[in-house]
Structure 1
Amino acid sequence: MDSDTDLVARMDWVSTEHDVDALLKVMAGWMEHERLEELVERLPGCLAGRIGVASVVVIQETSGERVVKAAHVQGEVSSLEAWGQRLNVGALAARPGPAELAPPEDEPWASGLTLPLDLGEGVEAVLALLSWTRPFDRRSRRLASRLAQGAAATLKRARQAALAEEARDRAQQQAQAWEARATQALAMVHGLGEGVVTLNEAGEVTFANASVARLLGQPVEVLQGRDFHGLVHPQGRCGGDGEPCALELAISRGAEVRSHQDTFERSDGMRFTTLTTIGPQPDASAGRGLVAAIRDLSDYQNMKARQLLNDRMVAAGTLAAGMAHEINNPLAFVDANMRFALQALQGGSEVSPASMEEALIEALDGVQRMRRIVEGMGVFGRGAGESRGWINLEQCLADAMVVSAGEVKRVATLRRVGEPLGQVRANAAQMTLVLVNLLMNVVHAFDASHASPEVVVRTARTQEAESIEVRDNGRGMSGALSAQIFDPFFTTQPAGRGTGLGLFVARSLIHELGGELGCESRPGEGSCFRVVLPLAEAAG
């Protein structure tokens, strides 16, 4: 087959049918070796001198980017390319076939022919053939149409191949990006301090991160495919009270269970407390599987136990002076009445039996008051264990008021109003300490110059819950300050006087019982701490 150079050398201004067929065969073979940009660069040179003296190819993307390539038998193309930049491609590409083109006044060519090039969606293209002297007749128009169709077919195939390659490259890049993100996400999940596990519909482990493996004392690969409930409850028991675990609740409810406290068992038999949130997997294509987030509460419980011990010690030290005053009062009249009775018995004075009885009754009353104070102080000697049972909330409040009365009464009057309280399921020592904390907080609520300082403990019951309010008429707090008082390590006391964990631990304990601990305060009006707990009947 003749090369492009051979064809150009033996073609007149107007090619024959045979010449056009030969050129179309040459263009059809371009696809094997050249890319679209190279074809667009080459096409004008192949057409110039065959039909017309010059040819211009203009391609415009929908993005607005325009490519103009031109060729002239004498070689000068800058003015042709500038003319092509000004061409109305959209209007010319919309025409169904060849169209005559009149030259502008400043152009040297005499006649032009434009032909649309169908390169596919998203692009408009035209081929312009220009003549300086000879007009385009019917035959040249027909041959030009054939060449334009062949050129368009070649360019379209090249463009489709380029688009396919771009799409393939983008797909590969996206796949690599997703793979990188998946690898990063997997590394993050494995690096979490909390355990993450996914389960299929049968409750079998489909994924477990390193934290779950560490919690359960087994390698990740051993956990795969295992029954999760059997892993964490090998004895079939979910907790000491026989309550359902988070997994059982999620399955029975068909919905997410948040922050449920469970007791898990490791492979070595050690039991530990967890906080578990479990619910349906967010990916609907995963079927009815579940995903669970598991937090080991061992460190928190150890911290809480240390804080409770610290609170007992701090409270005991703080209350020591007040307790001494509270005991000295009844001790003084016990001493006086016992001396009175002793002198009467020794015959030192004439005393009627009624007076003797009254003195002994008052002495006994003083002893009972001291016993109640000592019994109330027992909360500082009992352990801070986690065991819970049905406790008398009224007794916890009474003990708290007895042991804190001396310290509170140094700065304000203390009185109790409201209904008797019922039972709740809790730890008596912890509950008493919570109430002592709330009562001791009011000691810092008053200035020395405060007029008529008062602390009122108000109790109330509804069908669902019972509440305890500790209200003072002290200096109060701003909204910003009251919003932080339950944060860990936040304290308004001088350095060394408080840990900032008392109210944080108190609220945590109340939340674990299904209750609420909140505070309302206004500057200059005082503060009110309110505990709300479910009644024994509601809780049961």
Structure 2
Amino acid sequence: MTASLIPIWSVDVVGSILMIVFAFVSYGMSLRLKKRDPNNIILTYLLWVCLALFVFAISRSAGHLLKQIFLLIDRRDLWTAIQPFSGAVNTFTFIVVASVTLFFERTWVIYGTILKDRQALQNAHEELLYLNQNLEQLVEKRTEALVISEQKYRRIFEVSKDMILVTRRDGRIVNINPAGRNMIDVQSASGGEALDHQYFRDFLSGPGDWGAISRHIENRGFISSEEFDLVLKNGVRRRVLLSGSLAKSPSEDGETIHFLIKDIEQRRLMQKQMAQADKLASIGELSSGIAHEINNPLGIILGYTQLLLRGEDAESDRFNDLKTIEKHVQSCKAIVEDLLNFARTSSPQKENLDIHDIIEDVIGFVRHHSNLENIDINTDFGPRLPLARIDEKKIKQVLINLLMNAIHAVEREGTITIATGINAATGRITVEVSDTGHGIAKENLSRIFDPFFTTKPTGEGTGLGLSVSYGIIKGHGGNISVKSEPGQGAAFTLTLPVSPPNSGR
């Protein structure tokens, strides 16, 4: 039994016709979409694909229809003749579709880049539009921020107690804060802020100091915490701690060096005083031990000498020899006693006393026991001084020692002045003993309170007087200092505690 071919034929013919219809519809719709948006790359790609598929559908459907027609009229030979052409057209259309797809894949990448760039341009356009619309407000805010920043750093620059200095690389001063101006007395030629031809190296005490600073900055770009001596406006040298770095600012012409300079003179003096106190404390401990070891043999020598003197004729040579031994032993015991006084750590017996009464007693004692024929001792007492909290005997010992040193300094003719007052900063009593003598050499000032150090000729001083005085004043919780210039005399200043308010004598 032969099966009917009508269903197969119907599907082939109807399917081919529908394929042609759908091809026309698809191509028509893609063409209309392309006309609506000519620049859309996706629609362009869709149009080309629909066109290729349209050709494929026409070729494929026409081939199937012709095949069925030729088979109905029994002309299979005609179909055999045109079948290769139909297949070739179908293959060509698929090649076209593949080529279009490959081409548009690369085009899509480029299109994506173009979209990104267009979006970036759009964002930039919007930002520029915003800036243009709000330019005045933004400038005002930025200006206000800059003013606040400038005021903040200007205030730091102006109120700093340390010197802040800006120079060129050759050391020419560009700017300096008020603290620095006050320290080294830098002024502009016109009296304004500008500085004309003034160089920082001119204020350094050492001739090679600026060269050393320049080498540090040249090699490392900075200098950190180096000590130098500056010459201040009154000619006095002062130790400073200097740090600086090389900087280049767009607002300034060329490179500049920014310095921060800290005055460490007081710190250095304090360190020297602490070192001096430590040294005196060590010497005191050593002296105490030595004095006790020597004092006992001296006492024995003195005792036996005095026993021998009792049995000797006062006119004999032996008696004179023993008296010489006694004299020198007494001198040694006096030195040992001074050593013990220097090393002794016992607390002074303090009372509330009038310092002026003590000074008058000391002056009377010195005038009675010393030759003051051509030496004037003047007093300059401050009014209404409070009572001093002191040990009378020990303070008298200090004042007598200072007066005797002053008498020796002025030699046979001169003036000694004792002045009193109140230190406004500490509220303590000050006593200054000054003279018009030969003064103290600068190299000796740091050693003046050392035990056994003296500038007197051999045999005229033990070098313990000022050391003992130093210990007594420190034991009172006070201070003793000295100022002197060679040929212009010396001035010793005592600082003493005052009695508590409402306390009696």
TM-score, structure 2 normalization:
0.36
TM-score, structure 1 normalization:
0.34
Structure (1/2) with the larger helix percentage = 2
